[in-house]
Amino acid sequence: MSELETRFKELVALVDATPKDQVEGRLAGLPGGVPAALDTVYEQLASTFNPAKAGGESGIFQYEVATAGGVQEYHLVVADGACTVGKGTREDADVVIGVKVVDMLLMATGKLSGQKAFVTGKLKLRGNAFFGMKQGEWFD
């Protein structure tokens, strides 16, 4: 098992064992805190990119994750059959996805679908909403 897989498994176990309203506080007490957990989430997400499902398409997903310490920004760039993750803002993003940290963690660990998060207002999209839906299609 890779180091990333181990970190992600530990994050899933923490989210599973912690009441939703206490997840961010528990993460804040761990080495690296919430930023380290988000790094793990986005590295894991990028690793699940399936180029066959993207069918040669490309684009940029920008994420704005609301935390108690402020907004954490990440982006996934899909180009040339690969996906890379980075921190910060990409002004050329096709879609901007806004979400609270606990809801992002619930989605990442399979406890909340992106579709349900969107319909219930927990996930907000700006820009090309149709492109935003491709995340569910392009990533395993």
Domain boundaries, the chain: 3-135
The answer to whether residue 10 scores a pLDDT higher than 90 is yes
Express as a percent the part of the chain with pLDDT over 90.
89
The pLDDT of residue 34 is 97
Q: What is the pLDDT of residue 128?
A: 93
Q: Is the pLDDT of residue 136 over 90?
A: no
User: Looking at the predicted structure, is the pLDDT value of residue 135 above 90?
Assistant: no
pTM (predicted TM-score): 0.93
What average pLDDT does range 19-47 have in this prediction? Answer: 96
- What's residue 133's pLDDT? 84
With respect to CATH, is domain 3-135 assigned 2.130.10.10?
A: no
Across the range 74-85, mean pLDDT stands at 97
Q: Each residue of 97-122: pLDDT tens digit?
A: 999 999 999 999 989 998 899 999 99
Encode the chain in three state secondary structure: CCHHHHHHHHHHHHHHHCCHHHHHHHHHCCCCHHHHHHHHHHHHHHHCECHHHHCCCCEEEEEEEEECCEEEEEEEEEECCEEEEEECCCCCCCEEEEEEHHHHHHHHCCCCCHHHHHHCCCEEEEECHHHHCHHHHHEC
